[in-house]
Structure 1
Amino acid sequence: MCAMKYGLLFFVTLMATNLVSEADGDLMSMIDYRYFRCVMKREWKCPDSEINFFMYTPEHPRKHFIDPRYPKLLHDFGWDPMRKNVLIIHGFNGTYSKSPMTFIRDAYLSRKDYNVFMVDWSELTRFPCYLSALSNMKKAAQCTAQLYSAITQAGALAKMITCVGHSLGAHICGMISNHLTEKQYKIVGLDPGRPLVSAYGSRQFRLGRDDAHVVHVLHTNAGFLGESGLVGHADFCFNGGQKQPGCKGHIMRIARCSHFMSSCYFAASVRRSRRLVGIPCDTSCPKERGYWGINPQRRAVVLGDDVPDGSRGMFCISFENTEDCPFD
């Protein structure tokens, strides 16, 4: 009975990794030795050599390795205490140095008013190690909380720090507050990851509106690779929430493309190259075809930094995307 239980869990894990992998491949390509090279952290000490942080500034767009134990060195690398700060966290089988995370980084740098920090936990979230990646999220959040504290020790106000995470990275953003004396001010979750998270994740494990004073969430593959329904204080359901224009191919390719479009849409809103207007609608996402439940009694908002902190509820955004948004 025990062997059957763990055999089933192994199969479910393989199927989950097939859903959220960034690379194409069939089931047989996953049943190989790589699965048994997965890393699962069991020591809860930070810093950790497999969780790294890099800082970028408008004047110094090349990366600087950051050791959170030495917050005073931030100034030596060009950190400006008068600027806002953003922490960007990738998801499963991702990395800080590939698209679309680099689109978000470059969008913030183009504004000239942000210090940008990239969180790299790629060694702990490699394909096909989805279950171990779920376990390693706690360690990634703990060590990133140390970075967050270093930024505040250097002189930044909590209100000037935003955590932006894609997929599992969105949940890590939420978990950071578990390791702080005061919860964060703002989190942006980009299509927060769903496979196995919704089934096994406790409240402390998943992004929710209690994790920061302001939590905004973008839905682009809701109910499949991404969480469904109202997750934050203000959620944005794009084009019905599940399948995005321009995403083509087989069903898994369409799902992955739609999942990553949340990062591309958000990068466009940060650059202000796209005016993405959210119309108040009911709290469901994904939406039934042809029915969004528009609520004309509430005000529309423009996605990006201009979204009022007091915005509440679900907002629907509809537009035909014509921009190419590749992901590595």
Structure 2
Amino acid sequence: MISVHFKLLSLLLVLIKSAPQTDGNSIMPMIDFRYFRCVMKREWTCPDSEINFYLYTPEHPYKQWVDVRHTKKLPAYGWKLSRKNVLIVHGFNGTHSKTPMTFLRDAYLSRKDYNVFMVDWSPLTRFPCYLSALSNTKPFISDFRLAAQCTAQLYSRITQSGALARKITCVGHSLGAHVCGMMSNHLTEKQYKIIGLDPARPLVSMYGSRLFRLGRDDAYFVQVVHSNAGFLGESGQIGHADFCVNGGRLQPGCKGHVMRIARCSHFMSSCYFAAAVRRRIKMIGVPCDSTCPKQGHWSFRYDRKVVKVDEDIPETSRGMYCVRVDHEESCPFD
């Protein structure tokens, strides 16, 4: 097990050394090598005290802890069967209460027709524990797979409470997108819809198996938004319908050293999508070739229709779509 961790750590160092430096700012201070202080789960049972779920509803827009063993109590918290349900999963070093996850939460609440579940697995993904979160690349129990299994348990309990699978969407950013994808491995029927916001790339692309990574087989409809493709986010087409925003690599308004620009661009997928859900901005996807990120001239296609990017895009949409967002979208992140 330790040898696997050293291999992963060595790969991370290669990525760090190969990253360009700007304005004399090094990204080395961002790396904390106290890696083995990270939480490494030795059990694989759900529910788990380090994976928590919080319910928000239009009537109760504040966090209410959900005990998956007693989901019959959901209506007392404001959960309504008539509404759609969204499960929002944060990524590495995130929490349910950090921006831009809170932007996504508030965007769905603003629609008034969603029960919003926030998935918090932050104790297992704290900086610098990215390698720990990815430890399922060998056959021992991982934090990452546990997060997917426990979230799948919540999903199952919601359906047992009467919700239709068609009315449940898992929205995940970065590693959270892969958590959404892995949930279907723990369900008797795969999910209906997943929205992946710049699914994580570092180490995943080299060490992650097909079962580990979000793919179009994980749900009947998988929608992906790319904003830092090829660096912190996965590149190329992943889902049934992928949206390559502003070329897919760097986003307007992101400034600072190279890693901060990348992180800002990575988080912009969540901020853009939250704004689209709120219907505050209009994002139009134009059919284009399947590459993302894109270099130079973009090759557009005319055999498919343009689509509006939000949570209600036509589920018959297929292929890669190019999206231009010209204005700078405020996207604070920690």
Does the 8 Å CA contact 1:13/1:130 hold for their aligned counterparts? no
In the alignment, does 2:10 pair up with 1:11? Answer: yes
Q: Which residue of 1 aligns with 2:303?
A: 297
Deviation at residue 40 of structure 1 after TM alignment: 1.4
The residue number in structure 2 matching 1:47 is 47
Counterpart check, 1:309 vs 2:315: yes
Q: 1:59 to 1:3 in 2, by over 3 A?
A: closer
- Does 1:27 find its partner at 2:28? yes
CA distance in 2, matches of 1:3, 1:43: 18
SS of the equivalent of 2:243 reads strand
Q: Deviations over 1:179-207 (max 9, x none)?
A: 00000000000000000101011111000
Are 2:262 and 1:263 equivalent residues in the alignment?
Answer: no
- Inter-CA distance 76–226: structure 2 relative to 1 (3 Å threshold): same
Indicate the residue corresponding to 1:57 in structure 2: 57
Give the counterpart letter for 2:179 in structure 1: I
Q: 1:58-115, CA deviations, whole angstroms, 9 ceiling, x for partnerless residues? A: 0000111001111201111110000000000000001110100000000000010000
Find out whether 1:323 has 2:333 as its counterpart.
no
Q: Secondary structure at 1:323's aligned position in 2? A: coil
Stretches of structure 1 that go unaligned for 5 or more consecutive residues are none
Q: Which stretch shows the higher mean deviation, 297-306 or 160-169?
A: 297-306
| CA apart distance, 1:30 | 3.3
Q: Structure 2 unaligned runs (5+)?
A: 20-24, 136-142
Match of 1:70, SS state, is helix
- The amino acid of 1:88's aligned partner reads I
Instruction: Tell me the TM-score normalized by structure 2.
Output: 0.92
Which deviates more, 205-214 or 9-18?
9-18
Is the 1:14–1:30 contact (alpha carbons within 8 Å) kept by the matching residues of 2?
Answer: no
| Cα distance, 1:25–1:71 mapped onto 2, change above 3 Å | farther
- Please state if 1:280 is matched with 2:281: no
Q: 1:203 is paired with a residue of what secondary structure?
A: coil
Q: Who is 2:207 aligned against? A: 200
Secondary structure of the residue aligned to 1:69 is helix
What does residue 73 of structure 1 align with? 73
Looking at structure 1, the residues matched to 326 and 126 of structure 2 have their Cα atoms a distance apart, in angstroms, of 33
Q: What percent of counterpart residues are identical?
A: 67
Q: How many residues are matched?
A: 321
Match of residue 93 from structure 1: 93
Deviates most, 303-312 or 318-327: 318-327
Q: Which residue of 2 aligns with 1:116?
A: 116
Give the Cα–Cα distance (whole angstroms) in 2 for the partners of residues 158 and 225 of structure 1: 31
Aligned to 1:211: 218
- Seen in structure 2, the aligned counterparts of structure 1 residues 29 and 173 have a Cα distance that, compared at 3 Å, is closer
Report if aligned partners of 1:16, 1:196 keep a CA contact under 8 Å in 2: no
- Quote the residue 2:138 is aligned against: none
Q: Please report the RMSD computed on the Cα atoms of aligned residues, expressed in angstroms.
A: 2.0
Structure 1 letter corresponding to 2:145: K
Which moves more between the two structures, 298-307 or 232-241? Answer: 298-307
Counterpart Cα distance in 1 of 2:15 and 2:59 = 41
> CA deviation digits over 1:239-264, x for unaligned, max 9?
00000011111111110000000000
User: CA deviation digits over 1:264-306, x for unaligned, max 9?
Assistant: 00001110111100000000000112x2110022100000133
Structure 2 CA distance, aligned partners of 1:65 and 1:303? 31
Task: Give per-residue Cα distances to partners, 1:141-186, cap 9 Å, x unaligned.
Answer: 0000010011111110000000000000000000000000000000
Aligned pairs for 1:160-179 (under 5 A) are 160-179=167-186
Q: Contact (CA 8 Å) 2:5, 2:131: kept in 1 or not?
A: no
Distance in 2 (CA, whole Å) between partners of 1:69 and 1:165 is 24
Matches of 2:299 and 2:200, distance apart in 1? 25
Question: Runs of at least 4 residues of structure 1 off by over 6 A?
Answer: 2-6, 15-19
